[in-house]
Amino acid sequence: TTPSNNRMASPEDIKTAAHTALFEDLSPASLHDLTTYVAQTCEDGSYDLEVYLAVLKIYQIHASMFDIKTVVTILMKCLTAVPSNDFNLCLSLLAFRFQKHPEIQAVLKLSALLESCDFANFWTLLKETNALADLGVSIPVFVQPDADSTEQPDMTKPVETIFKPCTVADFEYSILLFVAHVINITYQSVELDVLKGMLPSDANVTQLIEDNTWELKDNMVFISTKEGLIESKDLVHDIQLDELRDVMVACQAEPWSRK
């Protein structure tokens, strides 16, 4: 037997491996392609919940393969999908003993702050814990069985594990989209200082106002949404006397029955 190569599988193969891991075969051998793809989504900004769930499902069944850095990276990636429930879906696949790990606890606190829209403390904790640093994915390398050999290699034990450092691309931008979403559905106007407190730095204020077509006047930011532009109208319906008479006659002919 020889170590398998590090050739990246096609997207179709990745999708098949993820589906298989979730619903059919939970072989750790698929972790090589799945974790490689996780690293790719972190770097290029793409997103694939099914792949993340598949990795965590394999970790759930094969606890010896569990890797804390990969799990934390997946959870941080899921935070970029707020307000979806993806983070909780992934968390549900983690045993409680793993959830108690300090690195996972830090991400749980970040998630709770986002869920409660406590953005000021979210950005503070993100900076204090340096949660975006030292992220990465552990990619196991398994042996490739020889066609001429009668002995099958143990596909539950990698011959080596390659740690690939990576960052979550556009993490801050994704969270800012959520902040803007909350502001749009909550405020008609907000003080500039209050808005600044929801952002990681004052440098984000101007861009956020421009991107969302808000208006800044005298230290007040006015939130313009389509809902706010809808004007109420009085609707007047003309009912002819003959039509009303027909209705009254019908009501008398067929009175409501009472039980």
Q: What is the pLDDT of residues 138-164, one digit of tens each?
A: 998 887 655 555 555 556 677 788 899
Buried b or exposed e, range 42-73, using 16+ CB within 10 angstroms: beeeeebbebbbbbbbbbbeeeebbbebbbbb
Q: Is the pLDDT of residue 189 over 70?
A: yes
Q: CA dist 157 to 30, 54, 153, 205, Å?
A: 12, 18, 9, 50
**pLDDT recorded at residue 5:** 46
As beta bridge partners, residue 220 has 191, 217
Distance between CA 209 and CA 250 in Å, rounded? 59
Q: Of residues 181 and 243, which shows the higher confidence score? A: 181
Give the whole-angstrom CA distance, residue 20 versus residue 206.
46
What the block records as the tokens of 137 is 């994915």
pLDDT of 157 reads: 74
- pLDDT value at residue 142: 80
Give 25 or 217, the one with higher predicted confidence.
217
CA dist 76 and 168 (Å) reads 7
| pLDDT of 4 | 47
> Which segments of 46-177 are extended strands (E)?
136-141, 143-144, 160-165
Angle subtended at Cα 76 by Cα 75 and Cα 81, rounded to the nearest 5 degrees: 90
Beta bridge pairs of residue 215: 222
User: Beta partners for 160?
Assistant: 141
d(CA 209, CA 180): 9
Tell me the pTM.
Answer: 0.78
Average pLDDT over residues 101-125: 96
| Residue recorded with tokens 């109208």 | 233
What SS3 state is found at 189?
strand
Segment 97-108, tens digit of pLDDT: 999 999 999 999
Rounded (to 5) percent helix, strand, coil in the chain: 55, 10, 35
Q: Residue 72 pLDDT more than 90?
A: yes
User: CA distances (Å), 134 to each of 35, 40, 109, 139, 197, in order?
Assistant: 16, 16, 18, 16, 27
Host H or E run for residue 191:
strand 189-191
Average pLDDT, the chain: 83
Q: 121-130, 142-151, 191-200: lowest mean pLDDT where?
A: 142-151
Instruction: Please compute the mean of the pLDDT values over residues 224-253 and round it to a whole number.
Output: 61
